[in-house]
């Protein structure tokens, strides 16, 4: 702007340039207005907001102190009491579950023992049955052998008689 004014200082255009500069600064150059608004905002924020923030921080400090001094110990005591009771209940439940598991284990063991006894009984019965079958087979074989011998004797006698009858 100063260079323009120096160039146009001796010319008749100087008043026009000066008027254009003023119009420009009023209409298009918003820096002074914005700077004024910024100063006003900062001043209002610091004065009004600063005290309000201080009160809020003080209130938070009081609330935290109250919670630390009074509420926290009460909560700790309530938690300790409740956890103690819950711990006792859990121990009782654990004991009951342990007894149930022992009963179930004993029942399974009893059933396994009964099964083993039945299996042993069946094995003994099967062995006895097989011995009986072997003796019966031996008897049947003996009877078969005797029957075969009788038949041989009978056929040999029949052959002898047939031979006698043929000789006649």
> Tens digit of pLDDT for each residue in 16-53?
777 777 777 777 766 777 787 888 877 777 776 666 77
Q: 6 falls in which pLDDT band (50, 70, 90)?
A: low
Report which of residues 99 and 54 the model is more confident about: 99
Whether the pLDDT of residue 110 is over 90: the answer is: yes
Q: Is the pTM of this model over 0.75?
A: no
Average pLDDT over residues 84-95: 91
pLDDT value at residue 5: 55
Residue 30 near residue 21 (C-beta atoms within 8 A): no
- Of 37-46, 61-70, 102-111, give the range with the top mean pLDDT: 102-111
Q: Which residues neighbour 8 within 8 Å (Cβ) at sequence distance 6 or greater?
A: 14, 17
Q: What is the mean pLDDT of the chain?
A: 84
Whole-angstrom Cα distance, residue 32 to residue 40?
12
Whole-angstrom Cα distance, residue 160 to residue 62?
139
Q: Which residues neighbour 17 within 8 Å (Cβ) at sequence distance 6 or greater?
A: 4, 5, 8
């Amino acid at each position: 702007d100063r260079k323009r004014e120096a160039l146009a200082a001796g010319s008749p255009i100087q008043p026009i340039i000066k008027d254009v500069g003023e119009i420009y600064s009023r209409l298009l150059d918003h820096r002074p207005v914005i700077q004024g608004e910024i100063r006003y905002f900062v001043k209002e924020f610091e004065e009004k907001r600063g005290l309000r923030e201080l009160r809020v921080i003080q209130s938070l400090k009081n609330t935290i102190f109250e919670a630390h001094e009074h509420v926290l110990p009460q909560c700790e005591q309530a938690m300790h009491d409740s956890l103690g009771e819950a711990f006792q209940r859990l121990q009782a439940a654990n004991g009951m579950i342990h007894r149930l598991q022992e009963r179930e284990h004993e029942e399974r063991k009893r059933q396994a023992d009964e099964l083993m006894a039945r299996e042993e009984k069946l094995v003994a019965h099967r062995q006895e049955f097989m011995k009986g079958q072997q003796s019966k087979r031996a008897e049947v074989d003996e009877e078969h052998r005797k029957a075969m011998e009788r038949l041989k004797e009978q056929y040999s006698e029949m052959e002898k008689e047939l031979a006698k009858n043929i000789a006649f």
